[in-house]
Amino acid sequence: MMGFCGALNFEEERISFSMLKRMYGLHGAGCAYINREFGIMCGGEGNFDECSLQPVTVRYNNALYTAAIVAPERMRGMEGSTAQGVLEGYFEEGEEYIRRLEFPYALALYDSRCGELLLAKGEKGDKPLFYTFRDGTMYFATSLRPLFRLYGGCVRVNKKVLVSHISGEYSTIPEELFCDIRPIRPSRRLVCSRFGHTEVPAPVGVGIKERQSDMDSFVMPEYSKKTDMRRILTDSLFAFDYPQFDCFMPSLLPYVKAAAADGRTEVDILDSLADNYADYSLERAERIGSLYGVDVRVSATADACVSARELKAMEKQIDTVLSEYLQSPYGVSESLVSDELLDEIYDDKSVQRRIHRKGMLCQTAMWFECYNLVLV
């Protein structure tokens, strides 16, 4: 997936590209630097041509404008062209043009004429976009990992919010999960200038409707007894970059991975959580799809794709993994999980909720093993 990270500092005007490179990692493909106050770096895995390279910088009326965008996988290879089109529309109509974009997106657009950075997400889908402030500089990225690298040895996690997330219902990333990192929600935008920053709702525009899938194309992935649950827990944690799990991921992840291996760029999934937990379903579709380079579309269904017997087998595998972490004297479980919380989870009469919560307990232990996180 093509992504980006960047930084903005109006006061000292000293953006460090070595810091952006460290944040982004190995797959850098393009960068831009304006007035020493703004820098952005893009990249991703794969081959790049002129139509995909980002960011795009254009001079218009003696001012520089830069844009980078994350768009659906079906537009892969056109990221640069799409960013160019966004800039041209912005020149003609301003933000009115951006709000009419009809596809899921995460956008960074810098206008040097007025010294303003716009970070925006579309109404549809849930392309990730996060920001933080450190040492007077605002940093932003299309995944959490670059911001984790920015903080190095101290990414502060709110213990109370994390426990609530684990013990609660299906939900998207909690607003206050991190003490210093904030997500931008769909249909929201962050406007940054010398006068400060403010997050505002984006007016809903009237755009062209996306192509609707034939309902006959929607499938319900099947669960396999051969599924490696530890791998599923790890892959789903890697897709989200924070604990997130449900009993349908062991079916969904292998299906999307196989579709990618077959060269497919789109899959249509029936999701029994899409009706009552629409935001969660959209976030999951975006994160898992991005992990494998596939557009995942979901449609609500009342049917469950996992039988009671399969759920029990799934829970048994998760219990084996969880017991290892609960017995470890060096894991995060001892400082995070109380006996009351464990009793509440194990005594829950819903096997789907038990799998949801036990899976996230396992992932939390994995999370703290992989990253330098601090509970506060």
What does the pLDDT read at residue 27? 63
pLDDT in tens, 86-123: 999 999 999 889 988 989 999 999 999 999 999 999 98
The CA distance from 65 to 55, in Å, is 10
What does the pLDDT read at residue 338? 85
The CA distance from 85 to 72, in Å, is 15
What does the pLDDT read at residue 213? 54
| pTM of the model as a whole | 0.92
What does the pLDDT read at residue 306? 86
What does the pLDDT read at residue 331? 66
Which positions of the chain have pLDDT values less than 50?
A: 205-211
What does the pLDDT read at residue 269? 95
What does the pLDDT read at residue 57? 94
For β-strands 295-300 and 266-271, DSSP reports them as parallel
What does the pLDDT read at residue 48? 56
Q: For the chain, count helices (H), then strands (E).
A: 12, 16
The CA distance from 93 to 180, in Å, is 34
pLDDT in tens, 203-237: 654 443 444 556 678 999 999 888 999 999 999 99
